[in-house]
Amino acid sequence: MLDYASLSVLAAVIREGSFERAARSLHVTPSAVSQRIRLLEESVGAALIVRGQPCVATDTGRRLCQHVDQVRLLEHELQSSVPSLGQEAPTRVPLPVAVNADSLATWFAPALTSFAATAPVLMEVAVDDQDHTADWLRSGKVLAAVTSSPQAPSGCNSRALGSMRYIAAASPHFMARYFAEGVSNTSLALAPSLVFNSKDELQTRWVHRYCQQHVELPRHTLPSAHAFVAAAIAGMGWGLHPQTLIQAHLDRGALVELVSQTPLDIPLYWQQARSASSLLEGLTRSVIKVAQTHLLPPHD
């Protein structure tokens, strides 16, 4: 049988990033936390935590963290629906999810906030590139994710949300400086581009589709959706922006398309661990409802 008290300690260490902070959150001593983890690792027969700054879970540890997250959700609902159990239900339960920054900055935030405003949860939101958020779900770090991958990890469901439309845009001054002779593989190789982080391939994908060849792009790295837009308006570089985030700037001429009528549509999917949890299903309903009004319809 699994020791769920120790699993909760494991989840606290991974959530807080250290034994000391986990101890403070659990109102116990660091040595008590260390002993719990040691006994749990001996019981499982595998290392569960990679000690460091911060502490991170091993593959086995992540799966156990996901399991205990699911159990918390189910126990909360059971205790709420069967008062005769005589146990006090936790006020709120953690619900970890992963999402890409552009979705969070546009349509996902309303879905998240409307759900969390009434549900007895504490949302734990991780941000990563849409091509990599599924890895968080696969590893057990989260229970659900917005991802560009249609294939759900084992033990999870996948639902098409729709497509987010991206527009390659820059300021008029930037266009005049770098693209006065047109947008080509030569001019793109000289014009600074904007990327969210090292995982961001949107600009490369758009260029490859437009030029029909790979172009090595000079890059500024800006890990913020809103700073990304501000940098483009200021003339720092060009980039792929969610249309909903920059439409007002396009309308007033602060930003212009690099090449007219060349959007890049990225299909998005909602993937979640299979669970009987009504809380997780409630979040799913909220996400799908908002996505239907903000994203392009899913392809058949």
Burial class (CB in 10 A: 0-12, 13-18, 19+), 143: buried
pTM score, whole prediction: 0.80
Q: Helical H runs in the chain?
A: 4-16, 19-26, 30-44, 59-81, 101-103, 109-116, 133-139, 172-178, 185-188, 202-211, 225-233, 243-252, 278-294
What dihedral angle (degrees, nearest 10) is formed by the CA atoms of 205, 210, 213, 218? -60
What does the alpha-carbon distance between residue 150 and residue 134 come to, in Å, rounded to a whole number?
10
Give the tens place of pLDDT for each residue, 77-91.
666 666 655 555 556
Cβ atoms of 291 and 285 within 8 Å: the answer is no
Would you kindly state where each structural domain of the chain is located, as residue ranges?
A: 1-85, 164-265
The two three-digit tokens of residue 148, written as one number: 């560009």
Confidence at 271, pLDDT banded by 50, 70, 90: very high
In angstroms, the CA 204 to CA 140 distance is: 30
CATH number of 164-265: 3.40.190.10
pLDDT for the residue numbered 78: 65
What is the C-alpha to C-alpha distance for residues 182 and 178, in angstroms, rounded to an integer?
A: 8
State pLDDT tens for residues 178-230: 999 999 999 999 999 999 999 999 999 999 999 999 999 999 999 999 999 99
Could you say which of 1.10.645.10, 1.10.287.130, 1.10.10.10, 3.20.20.120 is the CATH number of the domain covering 1-85? Answer: 1.10.10.10
For 103-160, how does the pLDDT look when each residue is reduced to its tens digit (9 = 90+)?
Answer: 999 999 999 999 999 998 889 999 999 999 988 888 777 889 999 999 988 778 999 9
